[in-house]
Amino acid sequence: MPPQRTRRAHSEIPSASGPLRQSPRLHGSQPNGHGSSVSIQQPPSNGSIESRATISNPSTSLPTSTSSFNTPTNHHDALTEKMTSLINIFSSVAERLQASQSASLNPAAPAVAHITANIAPNPSSSTSTFPADTEDLAILNDPRIRPLKARYPRLDIKTVKQIMESKFRPENILRLRASNFTSIKDRDTHSSGSLILGGHRFETQQPDVKLEEYHSLLVLLQPFLVYCQCLVRFAPPALQLDLSEALWDYMFLLIDLNKLHTWDSVRDFHIAFHYTRLDDVYDAEGWRKRDMHLEFTHLRKRDEAAPSRRPTSQPQPLAYCIRWNRGDFCQLPCKYTHRCSSCNSPLHTAKDCRRFTTQNSNHEPLGNHSRTQSSHSNQATSGSSSRQ
């Protein structure tokens, strides 16, 4: 009987590199070097060469060849998880952007912004509101400002802060006027403009007041007194008395200049001079010293050199009404004088006048000259007859 040939048992184990052939010498259970055994079944009697291999591990039991290493399925699950996390991130960013836009357009949106801040608080938005309030409270609690607030309850905190920092613009002095304390509105602090005075351009901020609102010196002095009180309060104690006297001297100078010069020029001079004092507003000598260059370039004399002379020409002769002197109808009111052209009497017309003096025919009504000539001829005839 011929010896049976050993048939090779093929066991296909799925892996990343394809099927793996098992050795045909493995019969029964053989160790694989990792604490597990491989058992190979003998081929069936029907002549099939395929056999099934089972790998057994004492710690983990691996299934058969179709489910041992399912690499494509695990890769698909990881990709799905990454896409889901990215979608969640983009959704949260879109919700935050939409909430911020609705808060800027709708005043009622702070509630939504508050909910969003609780979910993911924004440090920039949480720290931008409190410093301003804290700074305002610090200014109000300043012992130098409390007397000013007690005297002027409507004094604006922003204006006081600008005066303390020497950033107050002279053209906005009317913001300190008592009559405007209740009507001052919050305006944009970042707005800028320029002011031209005497050919010089000055960059300004918060152009709240127009120059046309300074109607007279009294309109300027009232808020300027409030400004001077603020300066004296904020100045060092050693300079307060001297600074107060210098500011009073400057106000007296403005009054004297207004007597001899036009108000518009005095106003322009004051604003230009005030700009020169912004570098050191507590310098008493700077307020007291006169700036001859600014006075020469800005001030203009009043037009009171000589009073207007009355005309000395002869009065025009009266224009008599010809119709009235003739005795004709004249429609009233008449622009001519209704007086007798012969004797200037308002009681009768030239037609009824008893004076027969020779006058210029241009001043007599029409027909009066012929009547005078006829009267003279009658007198001559009567005189000749009496001589005979």
- For the chain, which residues make up each domain, given as ranges? 72-126, 133-298, 322-372
Q: For residue 178, what pLDDT is reported?
A: 55
The answer to whether residues 152 and 177 touch, using CB atoms and an 8 Å cutoff, is: no
Interval 225-266: pLDDT, tens: 989 988 998 899 999 999 999 999 999 999 999 999 999 999
* Phi, psi (degrees; rounded to nearest 5) at 301: -70, 155
3-state helix, strand, coil in the chain (%, to 5): 45, 10, 45
Average pLDDT along the chain, 388 residues, taken 10 residues at a time: 49 46 46 46 47 45 45 68 81 77 55 43 40 61 78 80 85 71 40 54 54 79 89 90 94 93 92 91 92 91 60 60 80 79 78 62 49 50 46
Q: For residue 179, what pLDDT is reported?
A: 44
**236-273 burial string, b = 16+ CB within 10 Å, else e?**
eeeebebbbebbeebbebbeebbeebebebbbbbbbbb
Q: For residue 242, what pLDDT is reported?
A: 94
